Amino acid sequence: MNNSQTRRQFFASGKNLLGGAALASLLGESFATASEAKASGPHFPPKAKRIIYLHMVGGPSQMDLFDYKPVMQQWYDKELPESVRMGQRLTTMTSGQARFPVAPSKFKFSQAGQCGLWMNAELLPYLEKKADEICWMRSLHTEAINHEPAITAMQTGNQITGRPCLGSWASYGLGSMNENLPTFVVLVATPTNREQEQAISARLWSAGYLPGEHAGVSFRSKGDPILYINNPPGVPDAIRKRSIEGLNKLNEINYEALGDPETHTRIQQYELAFRMQASVPELTDLSSESEHTFELYGDEAKKPGTFANTALMARRLVERGVRFVQVYHNNWDHHSNVGGRMPSQCKDVDQPCYALLEDLKQRGMLDDTLIIWGGEFGRTIYTQGNLSKENYGRDHHPRCFSMWMAGGGAKGGAIYGETDDFSYNIVRDPLHIRDFHATVLHLLGFDHERFTYKYQGLDQRLTGVLPARVVDELLA
């Protein structure tokens, strides 16, 4: 995009008050904190220039999706051996249960692609087609055992709130790639079934101790996509343009009197606000999308707020230069009725995930766009509540869970990590969420140990103080 031309077109009548550097400072940072608001840039050339992170809120059941445990069929209703459980702490939702009977997955698994991953192709037929383009991780683990701290840990590297999330770090490290839209956008999809949702708080996309402009901007599916983006009724763009021009002329007079450089920042702030106003309606108007697109994503993509619609919107955002799109899809917290709930959850996401990968590939963007899919922890092999062959519940399980990545330098067809027969303990290649964060930062071009921000006298970082490693096996 040609910055200067856009500016000239827009403010043809005004004199050019600002250079490109000043504009950059507004997009990425505030003037007052200019010296500390931006990192020095990536440490090495990034594989992934952008990220679309699909967070499945509630903790999907790994052994019902990607962590195939055929032996469990023989363990139906048998007690989980103490040698497996090893006294691990449980949530207080099941710690009072008298028994911990094993609940084998009711779903049919089959091997997918060349990589041969055993997966639940019954519920994920689309994703199965992409098995060889996806980097499968079956040995994630975390310390957190309840949603709120676990989602926080997954997003910010720490269970305690107040740290910046991955998206904020990406914004801080790499800055903006466009001049009309935020760097970091959050989309919250509405699941078809909403009976067991978990709270998703704006604190998850807060910038923590990073400067506030690195916070995620939540685009909404109801009402204005960006808060206050629309002019009040009766104010057309031409009138708004005129009013901002007048406003800026007045501000310029004030600048002449006081000489405060912040006044110029203010002028840019209003220009950029106007450009956002102009570009967002185009962004959210799907009428320019071809029939092919809707065939790919499915008709659900036309309904605002569905996961399919959100996935399509995520593609449109990264296409327009948004650096990081965080998507939340809720209702994966299956304490009971795994059999009943899993189909609609999978149906919500299966085709759209496939479509997103395919769509980006067709547009030549998959190579430098990283897609991440996963929840905040896994679930237990033993049932919570009643057990039958067809139905069972599962409690939270932090000791192992599955996620996947694709594009952006992730290794397609890789299957990393292995759990025991009970999908309870990791037996090969444990992947702590810190390692995962370190690896994602690596794909973004950062050495996680040197990617820091000074706060409270310390060089803070996403991966915290405990050891973390970049996992080479996940890299293409």
Partner 1 sequence: MTSRFQHFVRRDRSCFLYAAAVCAASSMLAGFGAQVRAEPPLEYNRDIRPILAENCFACHGADSVARKADLRLDRREVAIEFEAITPGKPDASELIVRINEDDPDLVMPPPDTKKKLTAEQKETLKQWIAAGAEYQAHWSFIVPRRPEPPAVIDEAWVKNAIDRLVLARLEANGLSPTPEADARTLFRRLHLDITGLPPAPEDVAAFVSDYSQRQDDALSDWIDRLMESTAWGEHRARYWLDAARYGDTHGMHFDNYREMWPYRDWVIRAFNANQPFDQFTVEQIAGDLLSNPTLDQLIATGFQRCNMTTNEGGTIDEENLANYAVDRVQTFGWVYLGLTTNCGQCHDHKFDPFTTKDFYSLAAFFRNTTQPAKDGNVKDGRSTVLQVPVEADRPRWNALPGQIAAATANRDKRKENARGEFEQWLASANIESLDEALPVEGLVVHVPLNEGTGNETANACNSSEPFKATGEVTWTSDGKLGPAPVMKLGGTFDLGMLGDFEKDQSFSYGAWIKAGSDGINGGIIARMDENGDYRGWDLWQQGRFVAAHIIDSWPENALKVVTSNAVLKPGQWQHVFATYDGSGKPDGIKIYVDGKEEPLKVENNTLKPDASIRTGTSLRIGQRSHTQVFEGGAIQDVRVYRRAIDAAQVKSIADIVPLRSILATAPEQRTPERQAALYDHYLVTRDAEYPVLLKAVVDLEAEREAIRARSPITHIQEERKDSPPMAHVLMRGEYDRPGEQVDAATPAAMHPMPDGAPKNRLGLAQWLVDPANPLTARVTVNRFWNEVFGQGIVTTPEDFGVMGAAPTHPELLDWLAVEFRESGWDVKRLFKLVLMSATYRQAAITTPEKLERDRSNALLSRGPRFRMDAEMVRDGVLAASGLLSPKMYGAGTRPYQPEGIWDIVGLPGGDTRNYVQDKGENLYRRTVYTFWKRMAPPPALEAFNAPSREVCTVRRERTNTPLQALVSLNDPQFFEAARQLAQNALNASGGDAAKTIDYVAQHVLGRPMNEREQGILLADREAFLAYYQSKPDDAKALIAVGDSQADEKLDVSELAAWTMICNQVINLDEALNK
Chain positions 126 to 145 lying near partner 1, rule: CB under 8 A, are 145
Handedness of CA 346, 347, 348, 352 (dihedral sign): positive
Nearer residue to partner 1 within complex by CB, 26 or 308: 26
Nearer residue to partner 1 within complex by CB, 83 or 92: 92
Nearer residue to partner 1 within complex by CB, 195 or 299: 195
Q: Which part of the chain contacts partner 1 (CB under 8 A), choosing from 46-54, 191-199, 316-324, 346-354?
A: 191-199
Q: Which part of the chain contacts partner 1 (CB under 8 A), choosing from 109-117, 154-162, 412-420, 436-444?
A: 154-162
Q: Which part of the chain contacts partner 1 (CB under 8 A), choosing from 342-350, 355-363, 419-427, 460-468?
A: 460-468
Residue 120 CB partners (closer than 8 Å, separation 6+): 64, 65, 66, 105, 107, 108, 109, 346
> In the stretch 90-129, what mask flags binding to partner 1 with x, by CB under 8 A?
-xxx------------------------------------
Nearer residue to partner 1 within complex by CB, 107 or 307: 307
104 φψ region: left (φ > 0), alpha (ψ -120 to 50), beta (else): beta
Note whether 292 binds partner 1 by CB under 8 A.
no
Note whether 265 binds partner 1 by CB under 8 A.
yes
Nearer residue to partner 1 within complex by CB, 71 or 227: 227
Angle at 408 between CA 402 and CA 410, to 5 degrees: 45
Looking at 7, 163, 396, 437, which residue binds partner 1 (CB under 8 A)?
396
Chain positions 73 to 92 lying near partner 1, rule: CB under 8 A, are 89, 91-92
Note whether 262 binds partner 1 by CB under 8 A.
yes
CB of 383 to partner 1, least distance (A): 16
Note whether 1 binds partner 1 by CB under 8 A.
no
Size of the site for partner 1 (CB under 8 A): 92
Looking at 5, 13, 238, 390, which residue binds partner 1 (CB under 8 A)?
238
Note whether 228 binds partner 1 by CB under 8 A.
yes
Looking at 1, 71, 199, 427, which residue binds partner 1 (CB under 8 A)?
199
Note whether 458 binds partner 1 by CB under 8 A.
yes
Note whether 200 binds partner 1 by CB under 8 A.
yes
* Dist CA 239 CA 424 (whole Å): 63
Chain positions 157 to 186 lying near partner 1, rule: CB under 8 A, are 160-162
Q: Which part of the chain contacts partner 1 (CB under 8 A), choosing from 96-104, 205-213, 314-322, 359-367?
A: 205-213
Looking at 20, 227, 292, 389, which residue binds partner 1 (CB under 8 A)?
227
Note whether 15 binds partner 1 by CB under 8 A.
no
